[in-house]
Amino acid sequence: MNISPRFTEFGMTGAFFWISQIIFFGLAYNQGLVDLIPQWVMVWDGYQAMLPNVLQESAGSLLTVFGVIGIFITGLMLDLMGSYFALSELTIFNRHLERNQSWLNDLTDQCPENIKHDYRTLRDLFDTDFIVSPKKVWERIGMADECKHIQTFLFSFIHVFSSMSEMLVDNMHLWRTSRAISTTLLILAIEVIYLNFSGDLSDWKYIAANLALFGLSAFITLRSYSRLCFTLFSLACTTQEKQSQA
């Protein structure tokens, strides 16, 4: 794993999360935050007094370091939380799988039995309709591991036999970043509902804000994942064709 791009992602998504929080609380509790400033000053003075004398002069630097670490940890947590559109992503992946059956059948026939079994399970049993019954939803959840196995296999196939894997890595980074941003937007939507006590939650403005945040988060995540899948299957198809001609 290339550490530098991953930490850059964590920094960007963590910073986006805290900037959005500052904006939200600034808009929702502007006067309340101003009234808390004297208490913040007292907490800061107490924090400095607790430090050893040798560290008191660098208290500001220590706080900056803690803040930077907090931003990166926030970005990491957002990445680990993953996407709350996982079921939709499974459907998108299997729709791409369905469109590429002609060459995937040949490719997987040359693979170990576990890859062939996972691919055939998805090909024959996964229902790619977006609107399905609860039973079908449960069946999709049960096939999540097969989707991960096939996706990992395609990544490995491209990485070993193709010189264009960097393009795929860029799309993977973009997808992970979009998932973290979508999770931030979901948290904001929840905060709009449960933390803004200054207004009537039935007001159309709150309803519109939540619908907009949820719709934007869905668009960001699913659009970037669809782009990732298109790149993944296109590169895998090209690589398979080159291998068959070699």
pLDDT of the residue at 50: 64
d(CA 246, CA 242): 6
Choose among 79, 108, 90, 196: nearest CA to 146.
90
Average pLDDT of the residues of the chain = 80
d(CA 217, CA 178): 8
pTM for the model stands at 0.76
Pick the range with the lowest mean pLDDT from 129-133, 188-192, 215-219: 129-133
Average pLDDT of the residues in 90-113: 88
Q: Which stretch, 131-140, 174-183, 206-215, has highest mean pLDDT?
A: 174-183
pLDDT of the residue at 233: 93
pLDDT of the residue at 147: 92
Q: Are the beta carbons of 59 and 47 closer than 8 angstroms?
A: yes
Pick 116 or 193 by higher pLDDT: 116
pLDDT of the residue at 20: 87
Average pLDDT of the residues in 163-173: 80
Q: Which stretch, 76-90, 165-179, 193-207, 217-231, has highest mean pLDDT?
A: 217-231
d(CA 13, CA 185): 11
d(CA 84, CA 174): 17
pLDDT higher than 60, residue 218? yes
Tokens, residue 90: 């499974």
Q: At residue 177, what is the residue type?
A: T
pLDDT of the residue at 138: 87
d(CA 189, CA 68): 25
pLDDT of the residue at 164: 65
Pick the range with the lowest mean pLDDT from 52-56, 57-61, 165-169, 240-244: 52-56
Pick 199 or 236 by higher pLDDT: 236
Pick 130 or 22 by higher pLDDT: 22
Q: How confident is the model at residue 108 (pLDDT cuts 50, 70, 90)?
A: confident
d(CA 189, CA 193): 7
- The sign one gets for the Cα dihedral 148, 222, 75, 13 is positive
Query: Among the residues of the chain, which ranges form H helices?
Result: 3-28, 30-35, 37-50, 53-56, 59-81, 86-99, 101-109, 113-125, 134-142, 144-161, 165-194, 204-245
Q: What is the pLDDT of residues 23-58, one digit of tens each?
A: 877 776 666 555 656 666 566 556 656 666 655 556
pLDDT of the residue at 54: 52
pLDDT of the residue at 1: 46
Domain ranges of the chain: 3-81, 86-245
d(CA 182, CA 145): 23
